[in-house]
Amino acid sequence: MTQDTSATRVQTLVGAGIILTGAGLAAGAVGIPSNAGYSGVGPNFLPWLVAISLMVCGALIVREARTGGFRQLETPSGGERMWWPGVVWVSAGLLLNAALITTIGFILSCTLCYVLAVQGLRRAQGQSGTSTPRVLAIDVATGFLIAAPVFWSFTQFLAINLPGLTSTGWI
């Protein structure tokens, strides 16, 4: 399956964008202190790991695009155009998370972000019954079960301060 020139160009640009994102993250990681914390891992470990991973993946994508394009690429599902209400739901989740994280804490703001993002994605897929109390309760519980262990891992095990709702460090 051969790709046309415009598809190859777009695929190359995607790979280059990923490389640039990784390079930007690496530039930011330079300023993070490398003092070893628990198990010899410092606070700059994860940003460097993600930056290097992004740059390697971006290089692989560029190589794939330049050597014939993405092979066995399935036809995209969904509509031809972006579904704006879904973008609004997901964007609202991200923006509210950023705005409320210091007010209601990491766990609750990330739970809210998850609930709104899932609503937007479900609606974009045309799923019905996305706002029933049962579905919303499951979404809230799932968001909490994802956010809480992340918060506890950072605050209790890595000693990295994240905004909490209380001063106990557990919520």
Give the per-residue pLDDT at 168. 54
Q: What is the mean pLDDT of the chain?
A: 83
For 16-25, 43-52, 67-76, which range has the lowest pLDDT when averaged over its residues? 67-76
Six token digits for residue 77 = 């599902």
Residue 79 belongs to a domain: no
Domain end among 36, 66, 96:
66
Q: How far apart are the first and last CA of the chain?
A: 53
169 occurs within a structural domain = no
Residues in the chain, overall count: 171
Same domain, 56 and 25: yes
> Is 56 in the same domain as 10?
yes
Q: Does one domain contain both 115 and 149? A: yes
For residues 17 and 60, state if they share a domain: yes
User: CB atoms < 10 A from the CB of 171, how many?
Assistant: 14
- According to DSSP, residue 39 is labeled G
- The answer to whether position 162 is within a domain reads no
Residues 151, 88 share a domain: yes
Whether 89 and 48 share a structural domain: no
- How far is 96 from 137, CA to CA, in rounded Å? 19
If DSSP codes are grouped into helix, strand and coil, which group holds residue 89? Answer: helix
User: Range of 131's domain?
Assistant: 84-157
Within-domain flag for 139: yes
Q: Report the distance separating Cα 154 and Cα 61, nearest Å.
A: 32
104 and 48 fall within a common domain: no
112, pLDDT greater than 50: yes
- Residue 167 located in a structural domain: no
The count of domains in the chain is 2
Same domain, 153 and 89: yes
Whether residue 148 lies inside any domain: the answer is yes
Please give the structure tokens belonging to residue 108. Answer: 């609750």
Q: Which residue has the higher pLDDT, 123 or 15?
A: 15
**Domain assignment of residue 99, yes or no:** yes
Q: Are residues 104 and 134 in the same domain?
A: yes
Predicted confidence band of residue 80 (pLDDT cuts 50, 70, 90): confident
* Residue 135 confidence (pLDDT) above 70: yes
Distance separating alpha carbons of residues 36 and 161, to the nearest angstrom: 16
Q: Is residue 166 part of a domain?
A: no
As a whole-number percent, the residues of the chain with pLDDT over 70 amount to: 87
User: Which residue has better confidence, 35 or 85?
Assistant: 85
What pLDDT shows up at residue 1? 44
Q: Which amino acid is at 86?
A: G
**137 and 96 in a common domain:** yes
Give the rounded percent of residues in the chain with a pLDDT score beyond 90: 36
Confidence of residue 22 (pLDDT cuts 50, 70, 90): very high
In terms of Cα–Cα distance, which of 171, 24, 59, 38 is closest to 108? 171
- When mean pLDDT is compared over 10-19, 121-130, 151-160, the highest value belongs to 10-19
Note whether 11 and 39 are same-domain residues.
yes
| CB-side neighbour CA atoms (13 Å) of 5 | 0
